[in-house]
Amino acid sequence: MALRASTWKLQKSLSALLASSRLHTHATSFGFKEVHEEEKSKMVGNVFSSVASSYDLMNDFMSAGLHRLWKDRLVAKLHPFPGMKHLDVAGGTGDIAFRVLESINSVSHSALRCGVTDEVEGGSRIYVCDINPKMLSVGKKRAAERGIDGSPVLQWVEGDAEALSFPKGSMDGYTIAFGIRNVTHIEKALSEAYRVLKKGGRFLCLELSHVELPIFKELYDYYSFSIIPAMGEVVAGDRDSYQYLVESIRRFPKQEVFAKMIADAGFQKVEYENLVGGVVAIHSGLKI
């Protein structure tokens, strides 16, 4: 009963905050705070500079390791192939890029065993793009630990999701995992994703989302607001960054709304898959 009462009060507070907001999605919000647009990118940058070294460890703790399965599912939907040009945005630590590379290598090895040499010709390129240099440094270190830091396939690029440096129609695939809710303008990031993809290119987004099942939602809200920030303080020495994390999830558009935003950016065959009851969702679309 105490849990139900505290959760009801939390939901009431959240509703009041959301109702009072005059923002479009969370374009000028930092968690539950209203900020100037030029301040948001700096504040988000500070968050990820602070948590970079413990980012993947905290993902393991927060999700009980499930984030690994969610990322596997994302890459499985991508269907990587030898010779593809792929862009992973907000992927500084390399978690998605390493999976894409592994999948491409697996297909290449299978083709070679079957004597199909044409399938492995043409240089694959995986561009890891992140606005935060500290996150990229973590990814490069992890690549070195895997012995693939010298791979010509992996390219590390410091860049902004809202203003990508890549040419129009240059990518076969685009992924962004747990990153799009942190941009200042979601619409700009989606527009840039559409611009850099080739016709037939696939957009995939893995993001923490919204739980609707009432009982599960109560437990999830309690875990999010009471446990995750405390965990961040113990593991990463940073409670405030993980308080922002859980608040930013609540400000992110619901699954149907985000799907419409993807379609409005020009993508077709837009769909989403809820995982763990909507704790996370994978949205996808095609540029046709």
Number of Cβ within 10 Å of residue 214's Cβ equals: 8
Q: Which residues contact 213 (CB under 8 A, 6 or more apart)?
A: 277, 278
Structural tokens at position 267: 């993508």
Give the span between the Cα atoms of 53 and 121, in whole angstroms: 37
Q: Is 28 annotated as a binding residue?
A: no
Q: Are strands 280-286 and 197-208 parallel, antiparallel or unpaired?
A: antiparallel
**One-character DSSP codes across 4-63:** HHHHHHHHHHHHHHHHH---STTTTEETTEE--HHHHHHHHHHHHHHHGGGHHHHHHHHH
Q: Is 160 annotated as a binding residue?
A: yes
Structural tokens at position 203: 């957009």
Query: Quick one: which of 274, 251, 181, 254 has its CA closest to 15?
Result: 251
CA 199 to chain centroid, in Å, comes to 23
Q: Is 130 annotated as a binding residue?
A: yes
Binding residues for S-adenosyl-L-methionine: 93, 130, 160-161
Binding residues: 93, 130, 160-161
